[in-house]
Amino acid sequence: MLPDWLRAALSFDSEAYQPLFVGGTRVGWLQPAFAARLAAWPQVFSRLPHGLAFSPLLTDAASRSHALAAVLQDLRLQGHIPGWRDELYALHATPAGEELLRFERAAAKRFGFVGPASHLNGLVTRADGLHMWIATRSPTKAVAPGKLDNMVAGGIPAGMDETATLVKECFEEAGMPPALAAGAQRTGVVGFVRAVPEGVDTQRIAMFDIELPAGFEPRNQDGEVAGFELLPVREVLRRLHQPRAFTVDAALVVWDCLERRGFAPLD
């Protein structure tokens, strides 16, 4: 069973939000006040009995992306899209389905759009048992500064796949050469929808494990990680039970790894 704080963090009441559609596909969740604000762009969003839809006149991904980009720039100037990243995510009808639109990463939670990501558990087997590399996020990060994180984690930009993203992030966050990162094994996908102050955090995370040589020590290259610790599994579990010590997404990925490997939760 997940730690109490993590289960509470994953709470979501869809009745408190308005859905956003492309055609008949729900693609996001909107806070009611934000949905009302989007009605100011009737050329982009059509009103539904409950919720909004992209205008049927926007018939393909390119037209939707172009129209949404103009809206997001206006919202940015109004202060409603902080932390602008100049990085695009692609939104798909299904994980392997057609691309519906592209959007600025910083807008994901405002719209409840899926944020795709790749996360890596870095594992080392020592004489005293299994250990895991745990990162501490930089105190200057815009999101969750100073919290514990997976050894490597990163959003998947539009035009890249989960494996290419992982290899890139392995070098940027941990100084891991591509030849070593190529040994990572994909273990599955975890997804969630949860309420956050700025909107709805919706994520789909491709999870990977890698067995690392004892001599490898991660070294951050991009300034986004304050440091790394190589911790025995029981210490990782102890920290997982400390409320909000980990980011929510990293906690889920670590928990999945340890559960798959047969490590019982702390009593």
Half-sphere exposure of 132 (CA within 13 A, CB side): 27
- Among residues 108, 136, 170, which one ends one of the domains? 108
Q: Tens of pLDDT along 62-82?
A: 999 999 999 999 999 999 999
Q: What is the mean pLDDT of residues 130-137?
A: 98
Percent of the chain predicted with pLDDT > 90: 94
Owning domain of residue 200: 115-260
| Spatial contact of 171 and 213, defined as CB atoms under 8 Å apart | no
Residue at a domain's end among 108, 123, 145 = 108
The answer to whether 207 and 249 are in contact (CB under 8 A) is: no
Classify 141 as helix, strand or coil: coil
4 in any annotated domain: no
pLDDT at 1: 83
219 inside domain: yes
For the entire predicted model, the pTM comes to 0.95
Same-domain pairing of 245 and 134: yes
Q: Are residues 127 and 240 in the same domain?
A: yes
